[in-house]
Amino acid sequence: MTWTPINIATQLFQNVDDIELRNAFSAIENAYINEAGSHKRFPGLSVFANLPGSEPVYPYRHTATNDVYAVSSSRVYRIDRDGNYVDLTKAPLSGGGRPVFTETVDEIVIAAGGDIIRCDGNKTQVLSPDAPDATHVAYIDSILIANEKDSGRFAHANFGDARTWDPLDVFAADSKPDNVTAVMVTPYREILVAGPQSVEQYSRLEGETPFYRRWTVDEGIIAPYSMVFEDGAVFCVNSKKEFVRLSLQNSEPVSGDIARILSAISEQQWQKAWCQRFEIDGQRFLMLQIPEADTPYGGKGLTYLFDVKHRKWSNLYGWNPQLAMPDIYPVHSVCEAYDRVLCGGEGVIYEMTPRDFVNASKPQRMIGRTAHLGDQPVEISDTRLRIVRGVGTYTTEPVIRMRCKVDNRYWSNWVERKLGRTGTQTAALLFGGFGTGEHFQFEWEIIHDCQITVMGLDADITAVGW
């Protein structure tokens, strides 16, 4: 018996038809490739805090106080380390859009398409009757900035006084005649003003004119809530429907592996897309969710996980128990606080936890599906997965299963193997042979609530003649 290793550290690649794929994965769901090149199961979601109602929740960590604030159904809450909440709403958040947060010296400021709201840790108030209706707010050098909704302008408050807005303190982003749909300030003190057709960078000036335009990028941002700073640059979805790394005037696409999927998403479906960063086990990720995009399972809601360092993608899904099918990943926002990764659900804040591998009490299905491997007649007389075992309890053993498609004809029956009770040391599971053909595609799946790491896939291959 001679084992031939199959490379599982290669990336997800969805830019060609599945049958054309020869050297990458066609599916990696609810998992990511770690630094060792293994497939590691993505953490599950456990309840951290329950809020009133069942509307989407958007948590935010105040960097100075480390308090967590959250918006849900136009109301603003403060949540402590134990998950207890206090309703701070006196002036509700209006506009109906996705909340965008920023911080001044002594308060948080929130915009969602209507009146800008401020909160100093007590009750919320309308920031100023003179401030514009805005979808985005940002803060730099004691100056609060906001876009004027449905216009090509952005405005700013007085220096050191976020509640005073002079109607003349307005800038027109005019490199292209489009509306300003996003504004952000990077840690490099860059002010980015974006629209569907262009991105402009402004820098600070001393004196009566506080900003000047430094450069422009000849492409816009189709998803206004996709802008996130990470790895020394801004990542976002541009007007070409590419996920790009934007640094100065250089726009580097990093979504080539999934470009065909992203380009098929309509401009309207991109409007509610969002992206945020977080860290797991020392690896930095960006979560890109397009909640209105079509999925390969016939539903709505694509969620991608992007490994910043290695530029690799995978998918995250929830589960519909009635249809026994993957569903949209049940998260609307992500923030890191209280030494946790917190995620806003519907009427609830979840914590990503490596202790549980269910999503909000629903199954989390981890799968890996290889390319079509091989190009000449062979017989596969045995296969094995090398895994981390002993993930069950002292009385139960979770199950992993694998199947194979030969020459793209049909999938074999699932072959199931137990993952071992607590303390089991065996690190390889044999799944038997899958017959003779020119190319093979393997798929593994696990639904049970347990940690699992797939370290390798090997096949016992013998060349044959027809």
Across the range 57-73, mean pLDDT stands at 94
| Partners of residue 367 on adjacent β-strands | 29, 445
Across the range 316-321, mean pLDDT stands at 95
Model pLDDT, residue 248: 81
Closest CA to 430 of 357, 381, 375: 381
- List, in sequence order, every beta strand (DSSP E) within 243-390: 243-247, 250-253, 274-280, 283-294, 300-307, 312-315, 318-320, 325-327, 333-337, 340-344, 348-353, 358-359, 362-363, 366-370, 378-387
- List, in sequence order, every beta strand (DSSP E) within 391-439: 399-406, 415-418, 428-430, 435-437
Across the range 19-47, mean pLDDT stands at 95
- Count the alpha carbons within 13 Å of 431 in the hemisphere toward its beta carbon: 28
Cα–Cα distance, 332 to 274 (Å, whole number) = 8
Q: Give the type of residue at 11.
A: Q
Token reading at 328: 């949209």
Q: Indicate if the pLDDT at residue 167 is higher than 90.
A: no
Q: Indicate if the pLDDT at residue 299 is higher than 90.
A: yes
- Ranking 11-20, 164-173, 252-261, 276-285 by mean pLDDT, the lowest is 164-173
| Partners of residue 117 on adjacent β-strands | 110, 126
Closest CA to 78 of 99, 108, 56, 55: 108
3-state secondary structure of 416: strand
Q: Indicate if the pLDDT at residue 60 is higher than 70.
A: yes
Q: What is the DSSP string of 210-227?
A: -EEEEEEESS-BS-TB--
Structure confidence at residue 1 as a pLDDT band (50, 70, 90): low
- Ranking 106-110, 147-151, 375-379 by mean pLDDT, the lowest is 375-379
Q: Indicate if the pLDDT at residue 466 is higher than 70.
A: no
Closest CA to 304 of 293, 312, 315: 315
3-state secondary structure of 15: coil
| The residue to which tokens 């090509």 are assigned | 152
Model pLDDT, residue 354: 82
408: left (phi over 0), alpha (psi -120 to 50) or beta: left
Instruction: Report the predicted TM-score, pTM, of the whole model to 2 decimal places.
Output: 0.95
Q: Indicate if the pLDDT at residue 392 is higher than 60.
A: no
Cα–Cα distance, 21 to 232 (Å, whole number) = 33
181-230 residue pLDDT tens? 999 999 999 999 999 999 999 998 877 788 888 888 889 999 999 999 99
Model pLDDT, residue 393: 62
Token reading at 218: 């000849």
Q: Indicate if the pLDDT at residue 451 is higher than 90.
A: no
Q: Give the type of residue at 355.
A: R
Cα–Cα distance, 77 to 123 (Å, whole number) = 10
Across the range 262-278, mean pLDDT stands at 97
First to last CA, the chain: 22
Q: Which positions ≥6 away from 197 have C-beta within 8 Å?
A: 176, 177, 178, 219, 220, 239
Pairwise pLDDT comparison (65 vs 61), residue with the higher score: 61
Model pLDDT, residue 83: 96
Closest CA to 338 of 61, 41, 56, 144: 61
Cα–Cα distance, 290 to 308 (Å, whole number) = 19
Q: Indicate if the pLDDT at residue 174 is higher than 80.
A: no
Q: Indicate if the pLDDT at residue 360 is higher than 90.
A: no
Model pLDDT, residue 390: 57
Closest CA to 191 of 149, 222, 226, 229: 229
Neighbours of 441 (CB within 10 A): 21
Structure confidence at residue 397 as a pLDDT band (50, 70, 90): confident
Q: In the chain, what percentage of residues exceed pLDDT 90?
A: 79
Helix or strand (DSSP H, E) at 26: strand 25-29
The chain-wide mean pLDDT, for the chain, equals 93
Across the range 272-301, mean pLDDT stands at 96
| The residue to which tokens 């911080």 are assigned | 103
